[in-house]
């Protein structure tokens, strides 16, 4: 039996300057935190680990990221965005298509983003943390099924619920149900599953194609933001369900390290 709580909008999301609020210790009650930022931070992290990065270090601030990159020098690739755009002076932005083996293989990726990395940092009280995207959906499902309590964290965007993250939360829950796992779900988890199942519709026996999922992602506010800035191809990339089997996990804190 796995009890799942889904945070459609974490309490810290409305105050990104203080993601480690007074209530963050409440998250310690869960065995596992599953962090989602479909467009695009968690998709980037999964891509980077799959492409051979030695690890991903997440940072809350631009200055912290720059400081780490200066210390690691040639061992690091400095990456991140603010409001979907690459930060001045950084090596890469937040488009997963940039994270090829040739660019980041064998390197530490240092990453700071507007929403996703804040959600990761805020979960530091949870004993285990993994990164979820559509790319590694089945690997995440398997991990959730192995614990007694899990918290699915939808990062949101600037203090607002983002349906792309809720869709993935629902896909995880629906897949667990389809595989016959015994679950206890809070209302937000049930809502997430209903959103996914309403999208999947009559094709519930099979998972949607990247093209179909990209069309749905384009309807979200996050998808619209990316399209307006010329990143429409990222939607197709982010919709590649089960294109890899890696499961980035937290392996260190202060700063958070994922591999």
CATH code, 70? 3.90.1560.10
Structural domain containing residue 160:
2-206+244-258
The verdict on residue 186 lying in a domain is yes
The verdict on residue 110 lying in a domain is yes
The verdict on residue 225 lying in a domain is no
Confidence of residue 204 (pLDDT cuts 50, 70, 90): low
CA triplet 25, 251, 30: central angle to 5 degrees?
Answer: 30
Q: What is the pLDDT of residues 107-148, one digit of tens each?
A: 999 999 999 999 999 999 999 999 999 999 999 999 999 999
The verdict on residue 214 lying in a domain is no
- Cβ count within 10 A of residue 106: 9
Confidence of residue 19 (pLDDT cuts 50, 70, 90): very low
Residue 29 neighbours by CB under 8 Å, 6+ apart? 149
The verdict on residue 180 lying in a domain is yes
The verdict on residue 114 lying in a domain is yes
The verdict on residue 216 lying in a domain is no
Q: Give the torsion through C-alpha atoms of 114, 222, 240, 80, to 10 deg.
A: -20
The verdict on residue 211 lying in a domain is no
Q: What is the pLDDT of residues 34-88, one digit of tens each?
A: 999 999 999 999 999 999 999 999 999 999 999 999 999 999 999 999 999 999 9
Give CA–CA dist 174/190, Å, rounded: 9
Confidence of residue 203 (pLDDT cuts 50, 70, 90): low
Strand pairing category for 256-258 and 250-252: antiparallel
Mean pLDDT of the chain: 93
Supply 163's token pair. 């349906």
Q: What is the pLDDT of residues 223-240, one digit of tens each?
A: 999 999 999 999 999 999
The total number of structural domains in the chain stands at 1
């Amino acid at each position: 039996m796995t009890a799942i709580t889904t945070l459609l909008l974490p309490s810290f999301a409305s105050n990104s300057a203080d993601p480690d609020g007074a209530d963050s210790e409440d998250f310690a009650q869960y065995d596992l935190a599953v962090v989602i930022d479909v467009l695009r931070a968690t998709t980037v992290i999964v891509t980077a680990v799959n492409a051979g990065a030695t690890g991903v270090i997440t940072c809350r601030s631009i200055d912290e990221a720059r400081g780490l990159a200066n210390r690691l020098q040639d061992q690091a690739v400095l990456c991140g965005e603010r409001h979907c755009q690459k930060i001045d002076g950084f090596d890469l932005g937040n488009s997963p298509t940039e994270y090829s083996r040739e660019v980041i293989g064998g390197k530490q990726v240092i990453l700071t983003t507007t929403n996703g990395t804040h959600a990761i940092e805020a979960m530091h009280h949870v004993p285990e943390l993994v990164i979820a995207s559509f790319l590694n959906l089945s690997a995440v499902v398997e991990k959730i099924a192995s614990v007694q309590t899990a918290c699915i964290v939808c990062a949101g965007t600037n203090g607002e619920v983002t349906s792309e993250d809720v869709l993935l939360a629902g896909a995880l829950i629906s897949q667990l149900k389809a595989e016959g796992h015994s679950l206890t779900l809070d209302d937000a988890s049930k809502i997430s599953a209903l959103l996914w199942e309403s999208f999947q519709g009559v094709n519930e026996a099979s998972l949607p194609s990247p093209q179909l999922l990209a069309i749905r992602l384009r309807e979200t506010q996050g998808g619209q933001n990316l399209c307006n800035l010329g990143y429409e191809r990222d939607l197709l990339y982010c919709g590649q369900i089960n294109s890899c089997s890696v499961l980035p996990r937290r392996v260190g804190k202060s700063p958070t390290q994922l591999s």
